[in-house]
Amino acid sequence: MPDKSSLGLAGRISSPGETMHLLVTRPEPDASATARRLEEMGHRVTVAPMLTVVLNDPPVDLPEPAGLIVTSRNGVRALQSWPQAAGWRDVPLFAIGEATGTEARTAGFTRVTAGAGEGAALLRVIGAALPAKAGPVIYAAARDLSGNLAEHLEAAGYDLQMVEAYRADRAEHLSPEVLAELEAGSIDGALFYSRRTAETFRDLVAGRPIRLAHAFALSEQVAGALQGLAAEVHVAAEPDEASLFKSIPPL
């Protein structure tokens, strides 16, 4: 175990057999669901969403789609709020990640195909299942996009109809209680599911003497925003929650 004096911003390093105090930073309602799963594993959890998801008003006058694209569970939730989409439950729907695919199936979409948790994999899935000339493809997208899925689809000849379906507003501050725990080193680790969440956390603790032993990142892209914030940055082997949980040191 490293000497504590060598840990920089970090506090203590948890040992096997020790319950960790973890900070969950993802937006609601997913944050509370994640917290419940971590508590079932024996961890103590504090929830501090870095983003608040807001669904935009339903679009009007969309064409009947040959396919639908969602890249997060919030995209599925946005689709559910569109009156017109009530008639699209049998339209092929392409989702990034199995968790998003499961959300779509639960919402009643019957022809769901989930690619791995990144845009290149979804592009391959769409290319194999839906011809470019099949008709309009509606993408229920976030205001702040990461990646270039849309550009690749348009370059491949798809009639892509991008809809800004939701936005994720950044938190303006951390609560005094959470800041105090971070500065005291009583929070052992924090989980980050998106780069924008990690960047928001980084900005909100800038200049403060936080002591964080572990940061758990869903991908290398997310981890890139966390350097210097924790003694150890752990990256999930695959971009999904099950793999992220496996990166947490065993109790």
79: which residues sit within 8 A by CB, 6+ positions away? 68, 70, 85, 88, 107, 140, 165
Residue 55 burial (C-beta neighbours within 10 Å; 0-12, 13-18, 19+):
middle
What does the domain layout of the chain look like in residue ranges? 66-169
Residue 5: per-residue pLDDT? 27
Average pLDDT, the chain: 89
Pairing mode, if any, of strands 160-170 and 189-192? unpaired
CA distance 138 to 146: 17
> Which pTM does this prediction carry?
0.80
Residues 1/13, Cβ–Cβ less than 8 Å: yes
Residues 182/206, Cβ–Cβ less than 8 Å: no
* pLDDT (tens digit per residue) in 122-141: 888 899 999 999 999 999 99
| Residue 9: pLDDT band with limits 50, 70, 90 | very low
Between the alpha carbon of residue 96 and those of residues 16, 33, 121, 229, 237, the distances in Å are 34, 19, 8, 28, 16
CA distance 108 to 111: 9
Q: How many other C-beta atoms can be found within 10 angstroms of the C-beta atom of residue 195?
A: 19
* pLDDT (tens digit per residue) in 210-240: 989 999 999 999 999 999 999 999 999 988 8
3 state DSSP class of 139: strand
Tokens, residue 35:
């917290």
| Residue 7: pLDDT band with limits 50, 70, 90 | very low
| Residue 147: pLDDT band with limits 50, 70, 90 | low
State which amino acid sits at residue 18: E
Closest CA to 185 of 24, 16, 20: 20
Q: What are phi and psi of 182, to 5 degrees?
A: -65, -40
83: which residues sit within 8 A by CB, 6+ positions away? 58
* pLDDT (tens digit per residue) in 158-204: 999 999 999 999 999 999 999 999 999 999 999 999 999 999 999 99
Classify domain 66-169 by CATH number: 3.40.50.10090
